[in-house]
Structure 1
Amino acid sequence: MNVGLRAAFNRLRRRVLRGALGRIVFGERSQGRDLPYTRIAPTVVIEHEGRLTLGDHVYIGPFTYLEASGGITLGEGVQITSHVSIVTHSSHRAMRLLGRAFVSWEGRRPGWIAGPVEIGAYSFIGPHSVIEANTRLGRGSLVRAGSVVRGSFPDFAVLEGRPARVVGDTREADAALLERHPEAREHHRPWAG
């Protein structure tokens, strides 16, 4: 199939899917488990879905891209807003180094970066953020909009920037909210400690 025809087919496919499945509905499966409270928008693109592990109560918003060849784990209650990219490999350096030989290269490509991504329970990823290979976010983390995240970060980190840096702790805002809404403490404590 030529590229122009394939592109037209993909545009038509996306338009049909948006029209038929425009609403986000509850209920998914991951690694053979039913996840009745997990929601994934119909416009989400998931590559290597068998390497994606989801907890329940996960939300993945519209126009998000998940490339899971190296493994992506999203803990319970993770919220990923719209237009987020989570990738477990980066090939642009290898492509520049190898040029046309990139597609036929035997063995590990020079410049290739690959590794898993793990996002801890009840973390939030703001819109237009990128989570790169070899990243671990602790539970209760918050990634502000437009951030580019790579590396390992502690529980409850507030991350911001390109590259992302720790700029706060979500427990501070949570403490103020729990003070105003003490009835939520019994639900917050089991996962937050």
Structure 2
Amino acid sequence: MKLGHLLSIARWRDAWQHRVQHRLDVAWLRRQGVEAGDGLRLAGRPKVERICGRIVLGQRVTLRSHDRGYHTAMFHPVRLMVDVSPEALIEIGDDSRINGASIHATRSIRIGRNCLIAANVMILDSDGHGVAVADRERHNPVAEPIVIEDDVWVGANAIVLKGVTLGKGSVVAAGSVVTRDVAPMTLVGGNPARFIKALD
């Protein structure tokens, strides 16, 4: 056999294996109770912890759980966790891309359409533990909803904390810690994240 023919067979085999694995991963995700729209794109298998509550993915959502072909290091797969309350919700809008991010909802985290969530981002709607010594044994003592509106880009390694709204079209610079609302069409950065400039 000629080398070109062998390479063609190898490419076909790899593509076939990828399609089969993708179907298995999508089926596995739905068995975890994730409500996924059509056109779901998976790169690797995400980690799902649905103790109670709902995880809802819109149309053509991408969950990238490995950094092959990605421009920066990704330290873990996408992690989606809802717990504590049956009303806990993670909702991700159509055409949004989640890349190795950790999203933990005790109350609710809503991500709009066409959002870019970069590698190693953490989005947490609760404190996890109280600040006072006596409260540190209590899990998730305070939770406030997070809203990420349409067309938002959250840069790599950023952290979005409870009660925050990221306005439509806003950008959070890499490594930032967002503790308060971000106005639409603005760039914020730093710890805590502050206004840098308005966007066109």
TM-score, length-normalised on structure 1?
0.63
Instruction: Please give the secondary structure, in 1, of the residue aligned with 2:61.
Output: strand
> Which of the numbers 140, 143, 157 marks the counterpart of 1:114?
143
Specify the alignment match of 1:55 in structure 2. Answer: 93
Q: Give the letter aligned to residue 102 of structure 2.
A: Y
| Distance across 2 between alignment mates of 1:124 and 1:99 | 33
Kindly report structure 1 stretches of 4+ aligned residues shifted beyond 6 Å.
30-33
| Distance across 2 between alignment mates of 1:97 and 1:34 | 41
> For each residue in 1:114-161, what CA deviation from the matched residue of structure 2 results, as whole angstroms up to 9, or x when unmatched?
101111111100001000000001000000000000122211110101
Q: Give the letter aligned to residue 77 of structure 1.
A: N
Q: CA deviation at 1:93?
A: 2.9
Specify the alignment match of 2:6 in structure 1. Answer: none
Specify the alignment match of 2:160 in structure 1. Answer: 131
Tell me: CA distance 1:78–1:32, structure 2 relative to 1, closer, same or farther (3 Å).
Answer: closer
Instruction: Indicate whether 1:66 and 2:103 are aligned.
Output: yes
| Distance across 1 between alignment mates of 2:145 and 2:199 | 24
Name stretches of at least 5 consecutive residues in structure 1 with no aligned partner. 1-19, 104-108, 172-193
Q: What is the aligned length?
A: 139
| Distance across 1 between alignment mates of 2:150 and 2:40 | 18
| Distance across 2 between alignment mates of 1:95 and 1:121 | 36
Q: Give the letter aligned to residue 162 of structure 1.
A: N
TM-score, length-normalised on structure 2?
0.61
Q: For the aligned residues, what is the CA RMSD?
A: 2.7
Identity, % of aligned positions: 22
Tell me: CA distance 1:34–1:99, structure 2 relative to 1, closer, same or farther (3 Å).
Answer: closer
Instruction: Indicate whether 1:76 and 2:113 are aligned.
Output: yes
> Which of the numbers 45, 50, 58 marks the counterpart of 2:79?
45
Instruction: Please give the secondary structure, in 2, of the residue aligned with 1:60.
Output: strand
Alignment of 1:164-183 (within 5 A): 164-171=193-200
Instruction: Please give the secondary structure, in 2, of the residue aligned with 1:152.
Output: coil
Q: Give the letter aligned to residue 125 of structure 1.
A: V
> Which of the numbers 125, 131, 139 marks the counterpart of 1:88?
125
Q: Give the letter aligned to residue 62 of structure 2.
A: R
Name stretches of at least 5 consecutive residues in structure 2 with no aligned partner. 1-20, 27-38, 42-53, 66-76
Tell me: CA distance 1:27–1:148, structure 2 relative to 1, closer, same or farther (3 Å).
Answer: same
Specify the alignment match of 1:146 in structure 2. Answer: 175
Write 1 or 2 for the structure with the bigger share of helix.
1
| Distance across 1 between alignment mates of 2:55 and 2:129 | 30
